[in-house]
Amino acid sequence: HKAQTVATQFNTVNNALILGCDSVLSINGEIHGKPANPEEAIARWQQMRGNQGILYTGHALIDVSQDKTVVKCGITKVYFTQVSDQAIAAY
């Protein structure tokens, strides 16, 4: 949606291309975006360690002058190693 919002600001620019990208991570069937604060980031790392998840990465390319949009989603299985609480806190 953000790429579409940005594209409306460039509707008078010839040959403007707008690229929007975002990712979400699914762990144990629960969808996670970016952590809202350091505490949430620490809890997320603790949940991820030694676990696996699926990373969904979406891309939207908008050709403003042609009023065309191409949307794709990449899906990647990711594996997390065991990470100590000390390493998580340092990160």
Q: Which residues are catalytic?
A: 22
Where do the structural domains in the chain lie, given as residue ranges? 2-90
pLDDT on residue 71: 96
pLDDT on residue 9: 84
Strand extents, DSSP E, the chain = 17-27, 30-32, 52-63, 68-79
Would you place residue 8 in the very low, low, confident or very high pLDDT band (cuts 50, 70, 90)? confident
Backbone dihedral angles phi then psi of residue 17, each to the nearest 5 degrees: -120, 130
43-70, pLDDT tens digit by residue?
999 999 999 999 999 999 999 988 899 9
Q: How far is CA 56 from CA 6, 23, 64, in A?
A: 22, 5, 25
Q: Read off the pLDDT of each residue in 70-90 and give the average, rounded to a whole number.
A: 95
Instruction: Find out if CATH 3.90.950.10 is the number for domain 2-90.
Output: yes
